[in-house]
Amino acid sequence: MNDYYATLGVDRNASPEEIKKAYRKLARKLHPDVAGPDAEEEFKDVQRAYDVLSNPDKRQQFDMGADPNAPGGGGMGGGFGFQDIFETFFGGGQQQRGPIPRARRGQDSLMRIDIDLSEAAFGVTKDIEVDTAVLCGTCKGSCCAPGTNVATCGACHGSGTVQRVARSFLGQVMTTAPCGVCEGYGTIIPSPCSECSGSGRVRSRRTIKIDVPAGVETGVRIKMSGQGEVGPAGGPAGDLYFEIRERKHPIFTRHGDDIACTVEVPMTAAALGTVLEIETLDGVREVDLAPGTQPGQIITLRDLGIGHLHGSGRGSLDITIDVTIPSGLDDEQIELLQRLASLRGEERPAGRVAANSNGVFSRLKEKLSGR
């Protein structure tokens, strides 16, 4: 009986991965297109050894002393198992038609890009460096060394599949499986490109210009079709996605397309009214503060917020007024405030408590009720 382990040069406890690796190495070395016709018999021996050791059922039969490739050996008709029967009669092994194309679409890629609030408001164009797979400059995706080409696989004669006839309790049946030499491609690469190791692509850094539209926010993804990884063997590139992440602003908080901030004003300015200079995303703007402005009052400036992502125009800037109460008064300031309190009859205020008082909202309720 043939020693298939010795033929492949592996240990009897070798894993399926080790067996497959040893087979591929020997198949490439002994293929008639590479080693010549003198190696054909040895090449067939390697194929027979792999046919047995790559199949768990056949390998078990071989380990028990039976040669599945021997006439009449190996259980059901020379090692023909239930999986083979299922594939033959229910189409499992007949799905593939012709060789597998080497060129395949590349994977999509996802990157994150950080932007400021002002960039989200107005949009921005950025140059981003990406590390991705690009077409090999040496072989241009052919996978072959310059001056060489792929060769038709001698094992499957370019079909990408191999067929075999075996006996079962149902009679003789034929099964089809991917060729183990060319891995189903129908061709082999005798001289792989040294630059890309026969893959047709290499890793490289490149700069991509991305237009970030106004109105984006954290979590929004921008798709750039065909800017992802180039596929194996020069296949079409996948898509590149940029996911937006907005940095926190030191002054403004964002609520959809509106932004908000809080401005502190002294009690006297709130009482008498004044003109405030407010820093906005569009630069400094003058804002009229009406006399008698109350703490928590909101001043809304239209079209100074974030640009609408879908449509024209912008959101608003909402300014909350925070009235500061003076402390550390000198004698003259105390006297002035006491005189003011006397003039307004507020020396000993009643201290009316509003029901369910809740700051700004309670004051708004009072105004709506006319109190």
8 Å CB contact between 52 and 164: no
Do residues 123 and 63 both lie within one domain? no
> Domain for residue 88, yes or no?
no
> Domain for residue 86, yes or no?
no
pLDDT at 35 over 70: yes
Q: Taking the mean position of all CA atoms in its chain, how far away is CA 318?
A: 36
SS3 sequence of 179-212: CCCCCCCCEECCCECCCCCCCCEEEEEEEEEEEE
> Domain for residue 164, yes or no?
yes
Q: Average pLDDT in the 230-243 region?
A: 95
Q: Do β-strands 151-152 and 124-135 pair in parallel, antiparallel, or remain unpaired?
A: unpaired
**Model pLDDT, residue 268:** 93
> Domain for residue 158, yes or no?
yes
* DSSP H or E segment with residue 276: strand 274-280
> Domain for residue 92, yes or no?
no
Give per-residue pLDDT as tens, 179-217: 989 989 999 999 999 999 999 999 999 999 999 999 999
Q: Both tokens of residue 256?
A: 């959809």
**Model pLDDT, residue 354:** 57
| Residue 143 annotated as part of some ligand binding site | no
Do residues 238 and 201 both lie within one domain? yes
Do residues 226 and 135 both lie within one domain? yes
Query: What gap in Å lies between CA 352 and CA 349, rounded to an integer?
Result: 8
**Model pLDDT, residue 30:** 81
| Residue 193 annotated as part of some ligand binding site | yes
Do residues 131 and 49 both lie within one domain? no
Give per-residue pLDDT as tens, 341-351: 899 888 877 66
Query: What gap in Å lies between CA 102 and CA 95, rounded to an integer?
Result: 18
8 Å CB contact between 161 and 210: no
Sign of CA dihedral 308, 313, 314, 315: negative
pLDDT at 367 over 60: no
**Model pLDDT, residue 87:** 47
Do residues 213 and 276 both lie within one domain? no
**Model pLDDT, residue 52:** 87
**Model pLDDT, residue 169:** 54
Q: Taking the mean position of all CA atoms in its chain, how far away is CA 246?
A: 18
Model confidence at 69, pLDDT cuts 50, 70, 90, reads: confident
Q: Cα Rg for the chain, rounded, in angstroms?
A: 39
- Among 247, 278, 308, the domain-final residue is 247
Do residues 148 and 238 both lie within one domain? yes
Do residues 110 and 150 both lie within one domain? yes
Do residues 266 and 334 both lie within one domain? yes
Higher per-residue pLDDT: 98 or 111: 111
The half-sphere exposure of 81 on its side-chain side, counting CA atoms within 13 A, is 12
* Range scoring the smallest mean pLDDT among 111-125, 161-175, 237-251: 161-175
Tell me which residue range forms the domain holding 262: 253-369
Which of 367, 289, 358, 364 has the alpha carbon at shortest distance from 322?
A: 289
> Domain for residue 8, yes or no?
yes
What percent of the chain shows pLDDT beyond 90? 57
* Range scoring the smallest mean pLDDT among 40-49, 84-93, 115-124: 84-93
Model confidence at 41, pLDDT cuts 50, 70, 90, reads: confident
- Among 225, 247, 269, the domain-final residue is 247
| Residue 136 annotated as part of some ligand binding site | yes
How many CB atoms sit inside 10 A of residue 159's CB?
19
**Model pLDDT, residue 62:** 79
Q: What is the mean pLDDT of the chain?
A: 85
> Domain for residue 91, yes or no?
no
Angle at alpha carbon of residue 204, lines to 203 and 210, rounded to 5°: 125
**Model pLDDT, residue 188:** 94
**Model pLDDT, residue 33:** 65
**Model pLDDT, residue 91:** 45
Higher per-residue pLDDT: 48 or 261: 261
Model confidence at 71, pLDDT cuts 50, 70, 90, reads: low
Query: What gap in Å lies between CA 27 and CA 25, rounded to an integer?
Result: 6
Find the length of the chain: 371
| Residue 156 annotated as part of some ligand binding site | yes
Do residues 113 and 238 both lie within one domain? yes
Task: Name the one residue in this structure whose structure tokens are 């071989």.
Answer: 62
Q: Average pLDDT in the 281-302 region?
A: 96
Query: What gap in Å lies between CA 174 and CA 183, rounded to an integer?
Result: 20
H helix runs in 239-324, sequence order: 267-272
Residue 318 belongs to domain with CATH number: 2.60.260.20
- Among 79, 107, 142, the domain-final residue is 79
What percent of the chain shows pLDDT beyond 70? 83
Query: What gap in Å lies between CA 225 and CA 241, rounded to an integer?
Result: 8
Residue 9 belongs to domain with CATH number: 1.10.287.110
> Domain for residue 84, yes or no?
no
Q: Both tokens of residue 326?
A: 């003076």
**Model pLDDT, residue 275:** 96
**Model pLDDT, residue 304:** 97
| Residue 261 annotated as part of some ligand binding site | no
Q: Both tokens of residue 64?
A: 């028990």
Q: How many domains does the chain have?
A: 3
pLDDT at 365 over 90: no
Do residues 288 and 211 both lie within one domain? no
Q: Both tokens of residue 327?
A: 């402390």
8 Å CB contact between 217 and 246: yes
pLDDT at 142 over 50: yes
**Model pLDDT, residue 70:** 65
| Residue 153 annotated as part of some ligand binding site | yes
Model confidence at 79, pLDDT cuts 50, 70, 90, reads: very low
Do residues 266 and 326 both lie within one domain? yes
Do residues 24 and 59 both lie within one domain? yes
